[in-house]
Structure 1
Amino acid sequence: MRTVVALTGALALSLATGCAKGAAGSDARTVTYWLWDANQLPAYQACAEGFEKANPGLRVNITQMGWEDYWTKLTASFIAGTQPDVFTDHVQKFGQFADLEVLEPLDDLGIDDKAYQPGLAANWIGQDGHRYGAPKDWDTVALFYNEKLAKAAGLTPAQLDGLSWNPKDGGSFEKAIARLTVDVNGRRGDEPGFDRERVKVYGLATAGGGDGDGQTQWSPFTGSAGWDYTDKKRWGTEYRYDDKTFQSVVSWYFGLAKKGYLAPLADYSAGANPANAQIAAGKAAVAFDGAWMISTYHGFKGLDVGAARTPTGPTGKRATMMNGLADSVTKNARNKQGAKKWVRYLASDACQKTVGGYGIVFPATPAGTRAAVAAYAKKGVDVSAFTRPVADRRESTTFTYPITDYAADVYALMRPAMQDIYGNGAPVGDLDETTRQINRILDQ
Structure 2
Amino acid sequence: MASHKQFPARMARFLAAAVAACAGAASAVEVKYSLWDTNQLPAYRQCAADFEKANPGITIRILQTGWADYWTLMATSFVSGTAPDVLANHLMKYPEYAKNGLIVDLSPYIRRDKIDPSVYAPGLYELWGRDGKQYGLPKDWDTVAMVVNLDHARKAGVTLAELQNMDWNPRDGGSFENVVRRLTFDADGNNALSPRFDKRRVATYGYQNPGHGGMMGQTDWSHFAVSNGFRFQDRPWEPTFYYDDPKLVETLAYIAGLSRKGLSAPYEHAKPMGSNAMFTAAKVAMVPEGSWMITFFRDNAKFQHAWVPLPVGPTGTRATMFNGLADSIWSGSKVKEEAWQWVKYLGSAACQQVVASHGVVFPAIKGMTERTIAAHQARGLDSSAFFTMARAKTFLAPIADNGGEVDHVISTALEAIWIGTGDPATLMRQANTRANEIAKR
Residue 116 of structure 1: how far off its partner (Å): 1.1
Gaps of 5+ in 1: 1-25
Normalising to structure 2: TM-score of the pair?
0.90
- Give CA deviations for 1:121-142 in whole Å, capped at 9, x if unaligned: 110002x320100000111110
Q: Which residue of 2 aligns with 1:105?
A: 105
Normalising to structure 1: TM-score of the pair?
0.90
Q: Work out whether 1:257 is the aligned partner of 2:259.
A: yes
Residue 382 of structure 1: how far off its partner (Å): 0.4
Q: Which residue of 2 aligns with 1:117?
A: 121
Q: Work out whether 1:238 is the aligned partner of 2:240.
A: yes
Q: Spell out the pairing of 1:37-436 with structure 2 (5 A cutoff).
A: 37-107=37-107, 108-109=109-110, 110-126=114-130, 128-230=131-233, 232-269=234-271, 273-300=273-300, 302-390=302-390, 392=391, 396-429=392-425, 430-436=427-433
Which amino acid in the other structure matches residue 293 of structure 2?
A: M
Residue 58 of structure 1: how far off its partner (Å): 1.1
Q: Tell me the distance in 1 between the aligned counterparts of 2:68 and 2:203.
A: 31
Residue 425 of structure 1: how far off its partner (Å): 4.3
Taking only aligned residues, the RMSD between alpha carbons, in angstroms, comes to 1.6
Q: Do 2:28 and 2:56's aligned partners in 1 also have CA atoms closer than 8 Å? A: no
Q: Tell me the distance in 2 between the aligned counterparts of 1:266 and 1:442.
A: 30
Indicate how the Cα distance of structure 1 residues 70 and 301 shifts in structure 2: closer, same or farther if over 3 A, else same: closer
Q: Tell me the distance in 2 between the aligned counterparts of 1:426 and 1:213.
A: 21
Residue 354 of structure 1: how far off its partner (Å): 0.8
Q: Tell me the distance in 2 between the aligned counterparts of 1:210 and 1:189.
A: 26
Aligned residues: 411
Q: Do 1:111 and 1:134's aligned partners in 2 also have CA atoms closer than 8 Å? A: no
Q: Tell me the distance in 2 between the aligned counterparts of 1:286 and 1:301.
A: 12
Gaps of 5+ in 2: 1-25
Q: Tell me the distance in 2 between the aligned counterparts of 1:57 and 1:439.
A: 48
Runs of 4+ in structure 1 off by over 3 angstroms are: none
Give 3-state SS (helix, strand or coil) of 1:293's partner: helix
Residue 27 of structure 1: how far off its partner (Å): 8.2
Q: Tell me the distance in 1 between the aligned counterparts of 2:165 and 2:295.
A: 24
Q: Do 1:27 and 1:335's aligned partners in 2 also have CA atoms closer than 8 Å? A: no
Q: Tell me the distance in 2 between the aligned counterparts of 1:421 and 1:111.
A: 46
Residue 180 of structure 1: how far off its partner (Å): 0.8
Q: Tell me the distance in 1 between the aligned counterparts of 2:68 and 2:62.
A: 18
Q: Tell me the distance in 2 between the aligned counterparts of 1:266 and 1:112.
A: 47
Tell me which structure has the larger Cα radius of gyration.
Answer: 2
Residue 176 of structure 1: how far off its partner (Å): 0.7
Residue 302 of structure 1: how far off its partner (Å): 2.9
Give 3-state SS (helix, strand or coil) of 1:357's partner: helix
Q: Which residue of 1 aligns with 2:19?
A: none
Which amino acid in the other structure matches residue 343 of structure 2?
A: V
Q: Tell me the distance in 2 between the aligned counterparts of 1:85 and 1:301.
A: 36
Q: Do 1:298 and 1:304's aligned partners in 2 also have CA atoms closer than 8 Å? A: no
Which amino acid in the other structure matches residue 342 of structure 2?
A: W
Q: Do 2:310 and 2:389's aligned partners in 1 also have CA atoms closer than 8 Å? A: no
Give 3-state SS (helix, strand or coil) of 1:385's partner: helix
Residue 28 of structure 1: how far off its partner (Å): 6.6
Pick the structure with more helix per residue.
2
- Give CA deviations for 1:188-238 in whole Å, capped at 9, x if unaligned: 1111122222211111023122222221111111121121112x2210211
